[in-house]
Amino acid sequence: MRCPLPLLAAALASCATEKAAAPASEPTPTAVVDPAPYVVEDTGESATPSLSAEDVAAGITRAFSAALAVDPRDLADAYEGIWAERDEPACPYYYPEYLTLYNQYIWSADCTSEAGATFDGYAYYQGYQDYDGGYYTYDRYFYLYTSAATLTRSDGQRLTGSGYAYYYDIDYYAYAYKAAYSQIQGTFAWEGASFEDSWLARSISMDLYLYSYRYDTGQTYTTLNGSLADIDGGVTAVNFDSLYLENAATGTSCAAEPGGAVLLRDTAGTWYEVSFDGPAYSGAPSFPAYCDGCGSVYWRGDYLGEACPDFSSLTEWQDRPWE
């Protein structure tokens, strides 16, 4: 017997409703696994500094001498000695309009001159000596920017460098004082006998700024900033943080020590910080009780003692342009 159509339709609707109302199956929960604890192995050894406060003081004294030994005149002499062997105007190719208007050579080349010098890379160069500006005289002015440049002299000696160097020695004869300024950033290196005893033979990386001026009556003011690598076996790098120093002839409130800080890095790669309490700039005050020529040494936040370096290399600097 057939079901009446109304009853069949109602039965089908009832089945569909039951299927739609059936709850969806729950997903299987992911098991939660507690992470294993991080355990630091106790070796029984504690970190200790490799340098004492006395070592830090000696390292700072050597760092002053190392910074002053970076004489930009060596780089200028090395570059200009090779530049003298160029061909005009083809090797290296340069922009004549800059030379005419500004006395600046901007060159790029991969060439060998008739004299036998080779020029590879890119450089921007400007330099002159004995320029009189009316109330001052440049004893020497030198600016060099290089990008992966390699310059080889005809006898095989070579200068390589990436970075820039800028320096001048100036005599302000109208005001009776001289000034020396230099800023060198990057790495420059010399291969050969001509500069084997200079900093160029060591291929030092640096970002170093030095400015010093001295009156004819003896007052000397010196600012040293930036970083220098490869000091010696015990000190791998130094960072001068706004170091400023005057000598006693200026009448400063503290001639025994500078203002600013010096940081040293040891062979383990850790840093030692020494802050000094001298005036931060010309005419700045300082607290007399703290003016003892020493600074507190901190290593990883721990106090190690007092460092009393020798500042005479800065206050009694006898090289350019004073000699």
pLDDT tens digit sequence for 264-322: 999 989 999 999 999 998 888 888 888 999 999 999 999 999 999 999 988 888 888 78
What pLDDT score was predicted for residue 207? 95
What pLDDT score was predicted for residue 101? 78
Q: Supply the Cα-derived Rg of the chain in whole angstroms.
A: 34
For residues 296 and 273, give the distance between their C-alpha atoms in angstroms, rounded to a whole number.
Answer: 8
Is the Cβ–Cβ distance between 92 and 86 less than 8 Å? yes
Average pLDDT over residues 56-66: 94
Is the Cβ–Cβ distance between 206 and 169 less than 8 Å? no
> Is residue 5 very low, low, confident or very high in pLDDT (cuts 50, 70, 90)?
very low
Name the phi and psi angles at 91, rounded to 5: -135, 105
What pLDDT score was predicted for residue 292? 93
> Is residue 9 very low, low, confident or very high in pLDDT (cuts 50, 70, 90)?
very low
> Quick check: 238 pLDDT over 90?
yes
> Quick check: 196 pLDDT over 90?
yes
Average pLDDT of the chain is 86
pLDDT in tens, 116-163: 999 999 999 988 888 888 899 998 999 999 988 999 999 999 999 999
> Quick check: 1 pLDDT over 80?
no
| Percentage above 70 pLDDT, the chain | 86
Residue/partner pairs of 112-118 with CB below 8 Å, 24 or more apart: 113/85, 113/86, 113/87, 114/87, 115/85, 115/86, 115/87, 115/154, 116/85, 116/153, 116/154, 117/82, 117/85, 117/86, 117/151, 117/152, 117/153, 117/154, 118/150, 118/151, 118/152
What pLDDT score was predicted for residue 47? 77
pLDDT in tens, 25-35: 566 666 666 66
> Quick check: 10 pLDDT over 60?
no
What pLDDT score was predicted for residue 7? 44
Alpha helices, DSSP H only, in the chain?
A: 5-21, 53-69, 72-83, 96-102, 312-315
Is the Cβ–Cβ distance between 291 and 254 less than 8 Å? yes
- Sorted by sequence, the CB contacts under 8 Å of residue 203 that are 6+ apart come out as 187, 188, 189
Cα–Cα distances in angstroms (integers) from residue 170 to residues 139, 212, 246, 283, in the given order: 6, 11, 19, 23
What pLDDT score was predicted for residue 105? 85
- Of 155 and 9, which is predicted with more confidence? 155
Is the Cβ–Cβ distance between 203 and 298 less than 8 Å? no
Widest Cα–Cα separation across the chain:
133
Is the Cβ–Cβ distance between 272 and 56 less than 8 Å? yes
What pLDDT score was predicted for residue 41? 60
Average pLDDT over residues 195-216: 93
Would you give the DSSP letter of residue 268? T
For residues 232 and 304, give the distance between their C-alpha atoms in angstroms, rounded to a whole number.
Answer: 22
What pLDDT score was predicted for residue 46? 58
